[in-house]
């Protein structure tokens, strides 16, 4: 699956609260033109409006743009298809929940709304946000109740009773052993004296003098973290220069080579990178290791359970689509 497809899949699995309220401009005023009132699809007579499709599609577009992904015409058409099918899937699941008399959890929905309201400076700011998106709290509540009913259908009816055996988790661990290998890692701090790409020779000379002076202060016994807090140009200074653990390939080459060559507690000589001059202190090193089956088993079991649940839902939707009366507007017209 491509990175774009994975991003789309993640977006389509977002909750109604996120899709309705988490996307700023994408969720601005509900359109009321004749064109936008035309159905994007119908499911057993229930209309999925063009406005609903556009709202969801705009949210997807915004998230992809925020991640720096540009779409070709072919990719855009594929995403439109996925978005439309996700809306159809949701409607089919909701209709099934209603057939079974499942109601959404009103208390849980009220709690979700209360948490969302807390993100605003005041009740007036919350009301203004809803108004700007041409939404009402009741509309949001109804969508969240639908999601709640769908969640209950999936959890207690469609995927109820799913189990994962020890044999299955052991087989997964054996077949995908590479997933549980941890590379050699180093936990380091650093102090950065930055040098801009267009720095003059004098600027570079001044930066080099500053890093040499800091090295001398460390040699006299000053605390590395304390010095990083007051002198480093890296945002990590707020943590005393702490970069946490990292493996090979995660840092620029000169920095990586210096860090992995140090023993815990040692401080490097001055290291020059495209960012400027660094002093590095290694806090801890961890050799390459493999997670044991006992450590990995809970995560494997959860992964396999989710896989089985997804398969059950897909099987349900495949049959539901065969039984349902569905019309779709061509994606090129959406």
Give me the domains of the chain, ranges plus CATH numbers.
3-164+303-333 (1.10.4030.10), 184-287 (3.10.50.40)
For residue 36, the model assigns a pLDDT of: 54
For residue 64, the model assigns a pLDDT of: 80
pLDDT digits (tens, 9 = 90+) for 99-110: 999 999 999 999
Q: Which of 183, 193, 198, 260 shows the shortest CA–CA distance to 227?
A: 193
Beta strands in the chain (DSSP E): 39-43, 46-49, 181-182, 185-194, 242-247, 271-273, 276-286, 289-290, 326-328
Q: C-alpha angle 275/280/281, rounded to 5°?
A: 155
Percent of the chain scoring above 90 in pLDDT: 69
For residue 37, the model assigns a pLDDT of: 60
For residue 91, the model assigns a pLDDT of: 96
pLDDT digits (tens, 9 = 90+) for 140-177: 899 899 999 999 999 999 999 999 999 999 999 999 99
Secondary structure of residue 173 in the 3-state scheme: helix
pLDDT digits (tens, 9 = 90+) for 29-40: 344 444 556 799
Which phi-psi region, left, alpha or beta, contains residue 196 (left: φ > 0; alpha: ψ -120 to 50)?
beta
The DSSP symbol for 103 reads -
pLDDT at 133 over 50: yes
Tokens 């450590």, residue located: 295
Structure tokens given for 160:
């109820």
Q: What average pLDDT is seen over the chain?
A: 87
What's this model's pTM, rounded to 2 decimal places? Answer: 0.65
Structure tokens given for 281:
């202190």
pLDDT band for position 126 (50/70/90)?
confident
Contacts (Cβ under 8 Å, ≥6 apart) of 321? 88, 92
Structure tokens given for 257:
């080579």
pLDDT digits (tens, 9 = 90+) for 258-276: 999 999 999 999 999 999 9
pLDDT digits (tens, 9 = 90+) for 7-51: 444 334 333 334 444 333 233 334 444 455 679 999 999 999 998
Greater model confidence, 18 or 136: 136
For residue 31, the model assigns a pLDDT of: 44
pLDDT band for position 89 (50/70/90)?
very high
For residue 135, the model assigns a pLDDT of: 80
Whether the CA torsion 228, 234, 239, 245 is positive or negative: it is negative
**Burial group, residue 103, by CB count within 10 angstroms (0-12, 13-18, 19+):** exposed
Beta strands in 14-135 (DSSP E): 39-43, 46-49
CA–CA dist 242, 245 (Å, integer) = 9
pLDDT band for position 61 (50/70/90)?
confident
Contact 248, 190 (CB under 8 A): no
Contacts (Cβ under 8 Å, ≥6 apart) of 240? 189, 224, 225, 226, 228, 229
The strands making up 39-43's β-sheet, listed across from edge to edge, are 46-49, 39-43, 326-328
pLDDT band for position 111 (50/70/90)?
very high
**Least confident stretch, 87-101, 111-125, 282-296:** 111-125
């Amino acid at each position: 699956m491509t990175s774009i497809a994975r991003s789309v899949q993640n977006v389509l699995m977002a909750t109604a609260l996120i899709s309705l309220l988490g996307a700023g401009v994408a969720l601005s005023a509900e359109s009321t033109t004749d064109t936008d009132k035309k159905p994007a699809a119908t499911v057993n007579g229930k209309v999925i409006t063009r406005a609903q499709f556009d709202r969801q599609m705009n949210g997807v577009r915004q998230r992809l743009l925020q991640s720096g992904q540009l779409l070709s015409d072919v990719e855009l058409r594929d995403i439109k298809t996925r978005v439309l099918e996700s809306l159809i899937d949701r409607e089919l699941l909701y209709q099934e929940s209603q057939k079974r008399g499942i109601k959404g959890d009103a208390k849980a929905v009220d709690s979700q709304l209360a948490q969302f309201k807390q993100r605003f400076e005041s009740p007036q700011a919350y009301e203004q946000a809803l108004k700007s998106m041409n939404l009402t709290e009741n509309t949001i509540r109804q969508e969240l109740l639908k999601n709640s009913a769908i969640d209950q259908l999936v959890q207690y009816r469609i995927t109820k009773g799913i189990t994962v055996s020890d044999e299955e988790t052991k087989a997964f661990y054996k077949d995908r052993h590479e997933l549980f290998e941890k590379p050699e890692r180093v936990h380091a701090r650093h102090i950065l004296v930055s040098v801009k790409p267009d720095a003059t020779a004098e600027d570079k000379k001044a930066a080099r003098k500053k890093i040499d002076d800091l090295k001398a202060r460390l040699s006299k016994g000053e605390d590395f973290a304390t010095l990083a807090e007051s002198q480093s140009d890296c945002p990590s200074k707020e943590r005393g220069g702490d970069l946490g653990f990292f493996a090979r390939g995660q840092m620029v080459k000169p920095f990586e080579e210096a860090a992995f060559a140090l023993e815990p507690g040692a401080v490097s000589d001055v290291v020059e990178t495209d960012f400027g001059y660094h002093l590095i202190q290694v806090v801890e090193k961890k050799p390459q290791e493999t997670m044991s089956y006992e450590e990995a088993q809970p995560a494997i079991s959860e992964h396999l359970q989710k896989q089985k649940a997804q398969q059950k839902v897909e099987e349900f939707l495949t049959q539901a689509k065969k039984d349902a009366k569905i019309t779709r507007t061509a994606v090129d017209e959406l």
